[in-house]
Copies of this chain bind each other. A is one copy, B any other.
């Protein structure tokens, strides 16, 4: 049982070790950066997706699915977009034994697959708003080092695409998406900051982009998704227009909202600790693991009791795993801590006798639950655990930020930095150089730890139009 690398000083090594030890992903597949969703990892993904579906459908979005292959002719219609993706797409050039007349792109994102069909679906103002989403895999020919969930070549992806009658309504949809993401993040116990990207870093083809950023220790942040306002940048080239109530024609304003499997990576990165992964109960593959501690004399009694407890928790709708393997209890504790199970119940002869199981949650809090009040007690322990986990993450979030007043303070920073910024691109690039990272942009909600606006731009010293901006080392 080798120890994990130190999370604080060797974050990426720690992260890779946890993903592997918790058996969330198998990277021994024959194409680098395309990983296998293991049985355990898939369960976490499925639970996570359920939350996404619940929250996005609560805002009136419906599921669809568009093809994975996009004709190169459609792909090239929006000029900024093709420029942004050209160097990182996979090309299908051959079908069976012959060359294809029109090469196909394996979708890196689905604007150019969906919008030609939106042009057919949208005819009148009665067809609006059109809010649809899909959960599909996207593909990027990554040239950088790949990491499970964080940077992969086949990406499990959520993308909402909407058409609205005008710019204001599209802005409202952006707000609605941020609200939905807030509720998702709450379920995962993940504090985040929505940050409006600077012009030079927005999505290819967008009017503006809001990144959803999570600090994950030191100056590092992880962008787990984004919300974009497209105005009519795509609807004009793709001809998505409608007849208004007064008979006039207008192009729709579009928005998108994207999230990737990075969400799962963020859960590992934010909640994990020196004993492995830690899952909030909403997405834990198993919420409760029962470890029998049999003795020669009480083997059957312990077996019967643990099976009964497992059956009852399952019937109560909980995801429960009864670990009946041959290993010693200590080895099982170790493994289920690595794998991040929220609550462990230990049941030996003493517990059977007293009709109370020993309970240990993944943050180390010990208690016991009576067999009689099992369902209620376990639900209560999970709630307590989730709140404690959320509080720990919130506290870390608050202490992840620190103001920098001088460019010189950015180098070697062990925090995400808040800086005054005048909005000029040149000043932004100075900040990026100083922190050896990126100026993520201006937060949409007040960043933690600061009161009131900044006094001057950290780069040029001007005070007009200065706002707080976030500088970090995005992963």
Interface set of A (CB-CB < 8 Å, partner B):
26, 28-31, 34-39, 42-43, 46, 62-71, 73-74, 86-97, 104, 106, 113, 116-117, 120, 132, 137, 139, 141, 143, 154, 156
| A137 / chain B contacts, CB cutoff of 8 Å | 68
Select A42's contact among B31, B64, B86, beta carbons within 8 Å.
B64
Given contacts A29-B117, A93-B93, A96-B89, contact A37 B62 (CB under 8 A): no
Interface residue SS majority, chain A: mixed
Instruction: Give CA–CA (A92, B103) in the complex, Å.
Output: 10
Task: Assess the B117–A26 pair: CB atoms within 8 A.
Answer: yes
Select A93's contact among B30, B43, B94, B141, beta carbons within 8 Å.
B94
Q: Chain B residue with minimal CB distance to A91?
A: B94
Given contacts A74-B30, A96-B143, A141-B95, contact A154 B69 (CB under 8 A): yes
Given contacts A86-B97, A117-B29, contact A36 B66 (CB under 8 A): yes
Given contacts A36-B117, A46-B63, contact A106 B86 (CB under 8 A): no
Task: Assess the A64–B90 pair: CB atoms within 8 A.
Answer: no
Instruction: Give CA–CA (A137, B139) in the complex, Å.
Output: 14
A-B contact pairs, 6 of them (CB 8 A): A36-B66, A42-B62, A46-B63, A68-B68, A90-B92, A93-B93
Q: Chain B residue with minimal CB distance to A71?
A: B30
Task: Assess the A95–B90 pair: CB atoms within 8 A.
Answer: yes
Smallest CB separation, A186 vs chain B (Å) = 24
Select A39's contact among B43, B63, B92, B96, beta carbons within 8 Å.
B63
Smallest CB separation, A67 vs chain B (Å) = 4
Task: Assess the B91–A64 pair: CB atoms within 8 A.
Answer: no
Task: Assess the A96–B106 pair: CB atoms within 8 A.
Answer: no
Task: Assess the A91–B90 pair: CB atoms within 8 A.
Answer: no
| A89 / chain B contacts, CB cutoff of 8 Å | 95-96
Smallest CB separation, A327 vs chain B (Å) = 11
Select A67's contact among B35, B71, B92, B96, beta carbons within 8 Å.
B35
Instruction: Give CA–CA (A106, B113) in the complex, Å.
Output: 18
Task: Assess the B67–A29 pair: CB atoms within 8 A.
Answer: yes
